[in-house]
A and B are shown apart, each in its own frame.
Chain A
Amino acid sequence: MSAGRFAFLMNLPTLLCLGLVLGYPVIYAGYLSVHRVGLAQLRRGEFAFNGWENYGRVFEDPLFWVALKNTAIFTVVTVSSEIVLAVAIALLINQTGIWTSRITRLLILLPYAIPPIANGLIWSFLYSFQFGFLNRILFTAGLIDDPINWAGNPDTALYAVTVPYIWRTLPFAIILVHAALQGIPRELYEQAAIDGANAWHRFRQITLPMLRQIIAIILILRTAFAFAVFEEILAITQGGPGDATWVAAWYSYKITFAPPNNFGMGSASAYILALMIGVMALLYMRFVYRRVTL
């Protein structure tokens, strides 16, 4: 048996599992997206083919564009904040001589262990208008006189949802940046110090260029995940107030599972979302990742 055939044979169980677990739902969603599937059709068990009609209806829906705009804002805010914070905190926990850095390093993975839905519930408790602890802290610090409705105000709701998401996903980025920092040779810093470079110069000329690759990876991964945010929205705002926090994944969910349960349109919107994430990942790979790895 040739090496190629043997390798194929060894990979076959994994391919079959992936095909069943991932492939089947994806293909079935594709099938649903080009059929008329509502509660009545589900009851009858007959799905009429309607071509691209579901896709057309999604694009004509103003709520879809609102959701897309909110998703874009959410993604830009969370990804940019995460990258800046991840680099800053990774540099902080890299300070071996500072005892508080050791405590931070110990605690940093804690949020990553919290399930997304539990994280959403924790933060909705924290944001609560009536008895939330964020308002209590601000009251105690004398910063506010009246409680702020963080998640209930259309102007602040979307940004209020970004904080729990950043809180939960930041450790992943920090760990990646910290690992990359460990890989930078110390000699570079020592030579730079001999040449008279200060801390800022060392960061600009050595640290940042050496982190470009990992930052590009974080950018790709976090953008894809932030674009599909769902759990925090479900637990904290459920898309509200009004449509202030409707994001793309929430749109797909509501179209599918809220009456009148349009499974076809929901699948079409999910496909559009997946396509967007795919295109974005490809663009990142083409213009960001390749450039920094060359």
Chain B
Amino acid sequence: MFRPSRTGRLMLHVANLMVIFFILLPLAAVFVGSVQSEKSLQADTHRLLPIEFTADNFIVILSKGEHKGRIFEQVTYLPDNIKSFSRSSRSCSARCRPTPSRASAFVGPCFYCRPTSWRVSCR
């Protein structure tokens, strides 16, 4: 209808880019956070992009915890026995007898199976 001037068009483009940045900023941040390990996230708090990309976070969720990538071995805030995470999980699944009370996932030591295994899901 009304064709803006060259400067006007430039300003409109800049305004649009600002709006797009505002819309995508949180989603982009979450995406970047999701494709890196906890260690990488905390290693350099000034870096925008991760040092290394990984799909392990998606894999562990989509496989319902069956496939845990190596990034979970890097986590520092969990006890040392996290290193035996995969093994513990397998043995736990094998030993546990599923009952309605045990159906929910544990967020602590699995006393039914191995007290040392951490965050084990008994299904």
Contacts and interface: CB of A to CB of B under 8 A. Distances in A.
B47 interface: yes
B114 interface: no
State which size class the interface on B falls in: 20 to 34
Contacts, number: 84
A97 B32 CA distance: 33
Nearest to B40: A131
Interface stretch (A33-41, A72-80, A134-142): A134-142
B17 A107 contact: no
B30 A122 contact: yes
B24 A123 contact: no
A88 B12 CA distance: 11
Interface string A150-169: 00000000000000100100
Interface stretch (B1-9, B98-106, B115-123): B1-9
Contacts of B22: 167
A92 B45 contact: no
B15 interface: yes
B9 A98 contact: yes
Contacts of A221: none
Interface in A150-197: 164, 167, 186, 189-190, 193
A136 B27 CA distance: 15
Contact of A133 (B15, B23, B29): B29
B46 interface: yes
A104 interface: yes
Contact of B12 (A101, A103, A122, A136): A101
A125 interface: yes
B56 to A, nearest CB: 18
A89 interface: yes
A131 B41 contact: yes
Main secondary structure of the interface of A (DSSP, over half): helix
Interface string A93-116: 001011011011001101100000
B77 to A, nearest CB: 12
Nearest to B8: A199
Given A98-B12, A108-B23, A136 B30 contact: no
B79 interface: no
Contacts of A126: 25-26, 29-30
A136 B46 contact: yes
Contacts of B32: 133
B19 A92 contact: yes
A98 B9 CA distance: 7
Interface string A120-133: 00110110001101
Nearest to B32: A133
5 tightest Cβ-Cβ pairs between the two chains A and B: A100-B16, A133-B29, A139-B46, A122-B26, A104-B16
Interface of B: 1-4, 9, 12-13, 15-17, 19-20, 22-27, 29-30, 32-33, 41-42, 45-48
